Structure 1
Amino acid sequence: MKKKHALCLFVGLAVLLVAFAGYGGGSKKEAEPGPKVEEMPVPMEIKMGEIKTRGPEGQVPLWYTEISLTEAEKEIIRKGKNGRKYVIAYDQLNVSEFDDAIGFAIDYMAEELNMEYIHTYNRFDASVQKDNVETILAKKPDIIAAVSVDPVVSGEAFRRAADMGVTLVFCSVKAPLEWGTKYNGGLVFYDLIGFGPLLAEELNKVLGGKGEVGIVFHQANFFITNQRDQGFEDALKKYPGLKIVDKRPTGNTIQDTEAIVSAMITKHPDVDGIYLPWQEHVMPAISALRAADREDIKIVTQDIGKTTALEMIRGDNIAMMTQCMAWQYGVTVTEMGCYAILGKEIPAECIIVPGLASTWKTIDQVWPRVFNTPLPKELQEVLDKKRAK
């Protein structure tokens, strides 16, 4: 029974990782590993204050700025060892704007550091991930970066890699290995609680400092969504004019979102704003609002995908979305892995990257800063037309 429970839990977590990876919906081809791009200098204020976010085991993380390579250290990596290049591998979880940006950043850094880059996909399948890791190990990698899909199947593969001396940099979800004794490397994720104040502030602004709020929260024991949801609810306390009138749970899928939101606004017809736990819930929620002729209700949520960004630009419901800086995430993953090659002490197991918040007015500034690509053409065209009105 315990094994069955664990399997169900991690299947659910895999579904979740699609959600908060900023997946825009629809089928997409696998991204070609590594478009040769330069980092886009997009000046935006990045807020990094006190860290309230915690790791999956209560770890106190440090900001990504604590991990960096000097030019001298980069030159050491470029020279390789014993006539061979250092090797970094990324077993990518999914095809999405978020996951692709991480992979592109690792590839970019690998080229900058004269490293060999190995890129694989596991498509949320633990067995595929196990095979991928075994294939990667045959190529004698120095660093493997990945989301651990399953604690048993994937965990065993990562345990073997760690025993072989490979540095493991986990992305958001780690294998059940003890840091410093069972594996060398760390866990990179992002400022989960830090998103809440951004969303609460914007909701207060668009509602004029007064209104009724409904919250749809994730009902599962998962440190990422739990902290994001709690961060928003705690941040609302700063605004006494905003009153939470309804809180409803949702599971790992979005099939019931439309019914949840419909029931919420039926019971509380004076609801002015709704918080959703991640952006995959947005379009079903908007279907419920349109059916009730409630385009006045404002939505705030976590993560940014192409579909929801387009809806935010052309519609009236979405007030704000947040997203981790995916490109910086990939850069940090690479630099953390290089610490082990250099024999540098990694200052903490958990390193976090900040995020940015976007409204329709700022999406063309936020998107490049997050994904290191211009706002997609179809979104830019709709945005230009809206601004011209």
Structure 2
Amino acid sequence: MSALEDTDPAQSRSSRAWYVQPVIAGLLASVVGYASTFTLVLAGLTAVGATPQQAGSGLFAVCIALGILNISIAWKTRIPVSIAWSTPGVAFLATVGGVEGGFPAVVGGFIVAAALIVLAGIWKPFSRAVSAIPAPIANGMLAGILLTLCLAPLHALEAMPQLTLPILAAWVVGLAFLRRYAVPIAVAVAFVILAFNTHLEGASMATALPSLTFIMPAFTFDGLVRVAIPLFIVTMASQNLPGLAVMKANGYDLSPGPSFTVTGLASAVIALFGAHTVNLAAITAALCAGPEAHPDPSKRWVAPIAAGVGYLAFALLAGLAAALIAASPQVLIQAVAGLALMSSLAQALSGALAHDEDRLPAIVTFVTAASGVTLFGIGAAFWGIVAGILLSLVFRFRR
């Protein structure tokens, strides 16, 4: 009997369909990544002065960038490198408030943050200096930023209990039975509620089609210290460095330089259309680079390509999402965003309090960042990092 005759037809079909599992994993990553925090992206951009049209443009641009980057990088490298937007970064934006110079100054801050990411990619001493920021300090700053947003569901429950309770119930049920989908389930319930309680004017529907709006950047000191530097630190400490760790844990030794350079350059381009930074994925990277994507590590690179296709499809919904959210009660939108960030807050607090010797500096960082104080025109997130590092240096000097 020939070798061809010995071949099991079922096994042959199985070998030809090996890509089904990574495709499903990649599409799942895009659904989880988008549905969990797109409301936060729109809320964060609006909080720093973007109009609904500019916020929709920013979401449209960042989705296009994620689609192109995920597809092109994975195709070229044959490594399951996943790119995502900076969820902690946009959560930070939601706490900044008005910036001197308006949204153009915020866009200028986005570009400076992107330039710093590129610098971290091409200049190793600078990258090492950023990596030297103690992880508990960085986590303390992130936790302080997230705390205000995670209180939003309680404020919404007080203001609009009849609309908020079903969303909270959906989230709790999701956590109990489908933990990974808890936030998308809550978002879906929220959108059903908003669809029945929100009236979109004809003008709003006219702007629902996705479009890119060019924004001329303005470079100001306020934009530098209140947007660019904190956004850069949050993105590096909470996204890029954990993203590298996730890849390494799954057996992929990813060089950080090219990854930082490519995502930094992409971030600078999309900033001109109102979008914040893109970076290495951390949470969704586990879906694309782990065993869930495929038992064979050499076949997982298909997952980010499928995720990229998913993000390109979601880009078409950017204008409609922006129009609906602009016409909706902001307290309810903030509540949904707060639910999406609960797990991030838990992880940040856990990282901040993990080591006894760094616990007090991390708490000082957390309290300072959560206070919302502005000194000399500089926001609380920056002062939280400064306070934590100084106290950490004092303790190390004593030891």
* TM-score relative to the length of structure 1: 0.28
Higher relative contact order (CA 8 A, sep 6+): 2
Name the structure with the higher helix share: 2
